[in-house]
Amino acid sequence: ELWPKGYYCNGHVLVDAQKMSKSKGNFLMMNDTVAKFSADATRFACADAGDSLDDANFSRETADSAIVSLVNEDTWITETMNAAADELRTDGEMNFMDKVLVNEINRLITACGNSFATMQFREGLQHGWFEMMLARNDYRSWCRDSGIKLHKDVVQKWAESLVVMICPICPHWSENMWKKLKKEGLAVHAPWPVAGEEDKLLSRQAKFLSDSLKRFRAQAGKAKKGWKSASIVISDSYPQWKVDVLNWMHEQNDESAGFSATFMKDLKGWAGKNVSDKKMIKFTMQFASFMKKEVDEVGKVAMDIQLPFDQNAILDGSIAYIKSQLNLEEFDIIKLDDTSDVVPERIAEQVTPGKAFLWMR
């Protein structure tokens, strides 16, 4: 019973993607590395080096970046949590982005815990640090651009969760931050953060906003000089050929097993029998393949014929944020389904539920 239940191994350890060699001057001893980068930054770079049988790559750039990142987060958390009472919201009401960040924290707590439990330390670092940073940055940008203060309870939950999740990798930083957050005991003895169940619908709404903004940036970059008028075009309904594909996908999706291993082969056979236009077969295959990935990510709700959320409400609630991010003075929202505005066909063809389009002219 004392025998190990399993073991884990890597390939050779590389430094900056090169084999360690004294002749190359890249031979690192642990004591020297810790003295140069600190223990936590060394552990950070080791965790990020890799989990698989591939050669682990210790990146000195990653270690340097870790030092900067850890110091910056120490400063931001300390200054934010010690800010004057009127600089943070303390009311019980949470807006859309407050809820989005809390939901993302819940998702990442679970994902990070699962990664560490299976010794996937690079994956755990990705969830417990990098993705936590991205989630906070989006929240901070939205609040700043919208002229809304950060919510103290939300920031506190984010900071405390971050400190505990990164503790297995950077224990010294975590212990220091645990004291600054005025928590009792040691961070290393703190229980794993309690995660509520992820709200898949809220995750999908947040993804809609972030994906839309990314798409809008690309579309704004292609705008011709002198174009000043902008509209965001949305639609709540699919064209009939996509409705047919989604209905077929519903039939193929098993409640417990999901899609079969022969999904794409079955799709090709179905499309050959039910799609008369050969050009549309290609579009059908692409659309079904994309929607299958969406189902894998957010569940069966991705196949809903009608979106389970209000696109207009999400965009309208983020007007100031979108204006600031795209450097637009004004824009309106056009809904294809119930508008008399003339939208060019080339624009309308690119708009589907959950996929808005920035029309500049």
Judge contact between 302 and 242, C-beta under 8 A.
Answer: no
The stretches in the chain having pLDDT less than 50 are none
Segment holding 233, helix H or strand E = strand 230-234
How far is Cα of residue 160 from the mean position of the Cα atoms in its chain?
A: 20
- So what's the pLDDT on residue 195? 95
Q: What share of the chain is helix, strand, coil (3-state, %, to 5)?
A: 60, 5, 35
- So what's the pLDDT on residue 12? 79
* φ, ψ for residue 37, nearest 5 deg: -105, -15
* φ, ψ for residue 98, nearest 5 deg: -60, -50
Closest CA to 359 of 255, 238, 224, 248: 224
The alpha carbon torsion through 123, 124, 128, 130 (nearest 10 deg) reads: -30
Measured in residues, the chain has a length of 361
Neighbour-count burial of 1, counting CB atoms closer than 10 A to its CB (0-12 exposed, 13-18 middle, 19+ buried) = exposed
Q: For residue 35, how many C-alpha atoms fall within 13 Å in the half-sphere facing its CB? A: 5
Judge contact between 215 and 360, C-beta under 8 A.
Answer: no
- So what's the pLDDT on residue 7? 77
* pTM, entire model: 0.87
* φ, ψ for residue 332, nearest 5 deg: -120, 170
- So what's the pLDDT on residue 338? 67
Tokens in use for 133? Answer: 């940073």
Tokens in use for 322? Answer: 């979108």
Closest CA to 116 of 51, 59, 185, 191: 51
Judge contact between 112 and 124, C-beta under 8 A.
Answer: yes
Judge contact between 33 and 42, C-beta under 8 A.
Answer: yes
- So what's the pLDDT on residue 314? 97
CA distance 277 to 300: 28
Closest CA to 203 of 104, 309, 304: 104
- So what's the pLDDT on residue 276? 85
CA distance 199 to 283: 31
Tokens in use for 206? Answer: 């947040």
CA distance 108 to 132: 7
* φ, ψ for residue 20, nearest 5 deg: -65, 135
